[in-house]
Structure 1
Amino acid sequence: MTDPHILVVDDARDIREPLGAYLKKHGHRVSLAADAAAARETIGNGAIDLVVLDVMMPGEDGLSLCRWITGRGGPPVILLTAMADDADRIVGLELGADDYVVKPFNPRELLARIRAVLRRVPPTPATPPTGRRRFAAFVHDPNARTLRHRETEAVVDLTSAESRLLTVFLDRPRAVLTRDQLLDLTAGREAKPYDRAIDNQVSRLRRKIELDPKKPAIIVTEWGGGYRLAADVTADAEEEG
């Protein structure tokens, strides 16, 4: 599944459950936790893309949990804070929280904040395969940075940037990836805002894998969205044998 997975952590059931239902309605997978212990277990058991975290909770509070999440390189955190808690907001940001929303909040505003953070920090994929993978008529070898056509056995050399870009697509088959996500996943901190280099890289990669680069059928453009690998991906059976 490619829908972002959001963990809502709040001891108040009348906030936690309606917020979870609202986020599900708007296309997110959602897990709920009433306290820090349940949140730690959920984060440890599966891939969470973002945590919405209440600061004021009985037992371990949200700031302590935020410190634990960011300290282990966990998912981004949006804090829910009381209007008067300026100190909590400052401390939370110093601990590595990505944003905060003041209670009482408008769910639409929180949804907009979630989307903004996810655009900056793309969802963490499951650990991808490190060996050769098949897609369309090709086998990609990330270690050798090559593509081999399965029928003709022709080998295409890729630049390191092209191989890295292709790996990102193969990790997320059929998922729409925005330019910002592709930049973050291929260039990381070196990416510059409004950088159009990703379009040039996609064009070069298409010239190497598409029958007609002007009418791409493998890496397709999603107008207003980004790009999508329109092919299934499997491990190379020859390597497994």
Structure 2
Amino acid sequence: MTISLLVVEPDETVRDQLRAQLQMSQIAMSVLYSAAQLMNRVELECPSAILIRAEAPMQGERDALRRLRQAGYDMPVFVLSKSDEVVDKIVLFELGADDYIVDPADLHELTARIKRAVQRAIRTLCDAPEMREKISFGGYEIDFATRRLIRNGAEIALRSSEFALLKLFASNPMRLLTRPMINSQLRRSESQNNSLDVAVCRLRTLIEDNPSSPKFIQPFVVLYHHAC
């Protein structure tokens, strides 16, 4: 699995040091100089995780993190700062940061934290059962506790990636989900768009009476240009 990390860091020297360490751990790094453009970059790139440099008063970083979470992106976000103030940590955690590292940071430790967070997020998404109410639609029933799709008492076999995609759609009824949004929720990179098309087409084949004219998974132009 290739991890892509978007780094918001204005200091070129720090970026170069971090890039060298990440390359040894096979983590692809892209750069943003200011948090002000974070949302625009995430919509285009959809990274596996984000590392943000934040220094007092941190208002721009706080606003960027708030907008990111409000938009539905839930990739792990790490904050790197020289501030050791508890209030700064609490505010950023409440806004959706996953980890707060006080600078100077050990780059080996930082890399390990990033890899662990991304791997844990993927396992949680794909493998963990959920104790939540079943969802029914069009004669189908999704059992989140047993991770099964059932129709007329019979189970329809789904791959883990397909169940994760179905769960995402079922949890967001009547909501337009863009490619970057789906990729973020499923911890995918933009390079995996072809496999996303395949998974969507397979789901349509399994649950739609007429996959070319679907009722449940609608073919919005901004979502999919790929025909099943």
Unaligned runs of 5+ in 2: 126-138, 142-152, 169-196, 206-210, 213-226
Contact map agreement 1:7 1:31 (CA 8 A) in 2: yes
Q: CA deviation at 1:159?
A: 2.4
| From 167, 172, 177, the counterpart of 2:162 | 167
CA offset at residue 122 of structure 1?
Answer: 2.1
Structure 2 counterparts to residues 18-57 of structure 1, below 5 A: 18-56=17-55
1:70 aligns with 2:69: yes
Q: Which AA in structure 1 matches 2:160?
A: L
Structure 1 residues 56 and 167: CA distance shift in structure 2, 3 A: same
The runs of 5 or more residues in structure 1 that have no matched partner are 126-142, 146-156, 172-183, 186-232
Q: Which amino acid is 2:79 matched to?
A: L
CA contact (8 A) 1:13 1:34 kept: no
Structure 1 residue 16: deviation in Å? 2.1
- Work out the CA distance in 1 between the residues paired with 2:21 and 2:15: 10
The runs of at least 4 aligned residues of structure 1 exceeding 3 Å deviation read 57-60, 233-241
Separation in structure 2 between the aligned mates of residue 69 and residue 55 of structure 1, nearest angstrom: 15
Q: Secondary structure at the match of 1:110?
A: helix
> TM-score by structure 2 length?
0.54
Instruction: Report the Cα offset of residue 167 of structure 1.
Output: 2.2
Percentage identity across aligned positions?
24
Structure 2 Cα separation of the partners of residues 52 and 21 of structure 1: 15
Which residue identity lines up with residue 19 of structure 2 in the other structure? G
Bigger RCO (CA 8 Å, 6+ sep): 2
Do the aligned partners of residues 70 and 144 (structure 1) sit closer, same or farther apart at CA in structure 2, a change above 3 Å counting?
Answer: closer
Aligned pairs for 1:173-212 within 5 A: none
Which one-letter code corresponds to 2:55 in the other structure? M
Change in CA separation of 1:121 and 1:158 when aligned onto 2, cut-off 3 Å:
farther
Give the deviation of 1:61 after TM superposition: 2.7
Q: TM-score, normalised by structure 1?
A: 0.51
The structure that has the greater radius of gyration is: 1
Shift of residue 158 of structure 1?
6.9
**Counterpart in 2 of 1:193?**
none
Q: Is the CA contact 2:35–2:61 (under 8 Å) kept in the aligned structure 1?
A: yes
Q: Is the 8 A contact 1:5 1:49 kept in 2?
A: yes
Equivalenced residues, count:
152
Q: Give the distance between the partners of 1:112 and 1:158, measured in 2 at CA.
A: 43
SS in 2 for 1:163: coil
The one-letter code matched in structure 1 to 2:81 is T
Q: CA RMSD in A?
A: 3.8
Q: Partners of 2:154 and 2:107 in 1: how far apart?
A: 45
Name the CA distance, whole Å, in 1 between partners of 2:155 and 2:88.
Answer: 47
* Match of residue 4 from structure 1: 3
Distance 1:55 1:166, change over 3 A: closer
Task: Note the C-alpha offset of 1:47.
Answer: 1.8
Is this contact kept in 2: 1:8–1:53, CA < 8 A? yes
